[in-house]
Amino acid sequence: DIQMTQSPSSLSASVGDRVTITCRASQTISSYLNWYQQKPGKAPKVLIYAASSLQSGVPSRFSGSGSGEDFTLTITSLQPEDFGTYYCQQSYRTPLTFGGGTKVEIK
Amino acid sequence: AQLVESGGGLVQPGGSLRLSCEASGFTFSDHYMDWVRQAPGKGLEWIGRTRNRANSYTTMYAASVKGRFTISRDDSKDSMYLQMNSLRPEDTAVYYCARLERDGSSYYWYFDLWGRGTLVTVSS
């Protein structure tokens, strides 16, 4: 199975900050990488698919980059509503696997 | 478009449970559908998939549930099912159904629609 490792596991940042979350795959996955946001008690919501494509309706402050094994999710100007846990997920091969999550808190 | 799971509850170890996922607002029969679960306070775990009719409704499973769980679908009812047998305490989780979408004609698949989940608790 492809292991997905996210870092950091948690972070606290202020409104307006630039936030970066990284995700590393245990083997190359090309650009088969998706990012999701999950708020407490809610289902995940896709933000980025195919490593860098912004899902329709998602604010442009979210962006994704990377290919191969290393990927990044960036929030250019953190907003109060961006709290929650962020997960990366590889769709290169089944079993699909998720990173362990990054919990984002607003200072 | 909406997905609604049902059927969760408390079950004893070794018991069985059948979850349902009812779709509305889109052409269910066109889509691959997956189950994903989340243990309390933990991350997301993919459980398995049912492909669509064009792909012979084939299924695939995670190793952790293979041989115990069975995924099926009934396109006439816009529904997918998860039959869970030989349940273990470690199967305790919120179970989500999720729709797979593809970017154009590429092989870039992602989950673009999720249900709210149904909680399964395995405990004596």
Give the distance from residue A20's alpha carbon to the nearest chain B alpha carbon, in angstroms: 20
CB-based contact, A9 to chain B, within 8 Å: no
CB–CB contact B111 A36 (8 Å): yes
> Using a CB-CB distance cutoff of 8 angstroms, which residues of chain A are in contact with residue B117?
43
Q: What is the pLDDT of residue B107?
A: 87
Q: Is the pLDDT of residue B14 over 90?
A: yes
CB–CB contact B103 A49 (8 Å): yes
pLDDT confidence bin for B105, thresholds 50/70/90: confident
Give the distance from residue B42's alpha carbon to the nearest chain A alpha carbon, in angstroms: 8
Strand locations in A1-107 (E): 4-7, 10-13, 19-25, 33-38, 45-49, 53-54, 62-67, 70-75, 84-90, 97-98, 102-106
CB–CB contact B110 A97 (8 Å): no
Q: How many whole angstroms separate alpha carbon A79 and alpha carbon B119?
A: 31
- Which pair of structure tokens corresponds to residue B58? 């084939």
Q: Is the pLDDT of residue B74 over 90?
A: yes
Q: What is the pLDDT along chain A (107 residues), one digit of tens a residue?
A: 999 999 999 999 999 999 999 999 999 999 999 999 999 999 999 999 999 999 999 999 999 999 999 999 999 999 999 999 999 999 999 999 999 999 999 99
CB-based contact, A96 to chain B, within 8 Å: yes
CB-based contact, A99 to chain B, within 8 Å: yes
B8: exposed, middle or buried (Cβ count in 10 Å: 0-12, 13-18, 19+): middle
CB pairs A-B closer than 8 Å: 60
CB–CB contact A46 B117 (8 Å): no
Pairing between β-strand A33-38 and β-strand A45-49 as defined by DSSP bridges: antiparallel
Q: Is the pLDDT of residue B104 over 90?
A: no
Cα–Cα–Cα angle for B110, B84, B94, nearest 5°? 55
Q: How many whole angstroms separate alpha carbon A66 and alpha carbon A44?
A: 22
Q: Give the count of beta carbons closer than 10 Å to the beta carbon of residue B61.
A: 19
Q: Are B17 and B121 in contact (CB under 8 A)?
A: no
Buried/exposed A38-58: b ≥16 CB within 10 Å, e otherwise = beeeebbbbbbbbbbbebeeb
pLDDT confidence bin for B58, thresholds 50/70/90: very high
The one-letter amino acid at B110: Y
Q: What is the pLDDT of residue A85?
A: 98
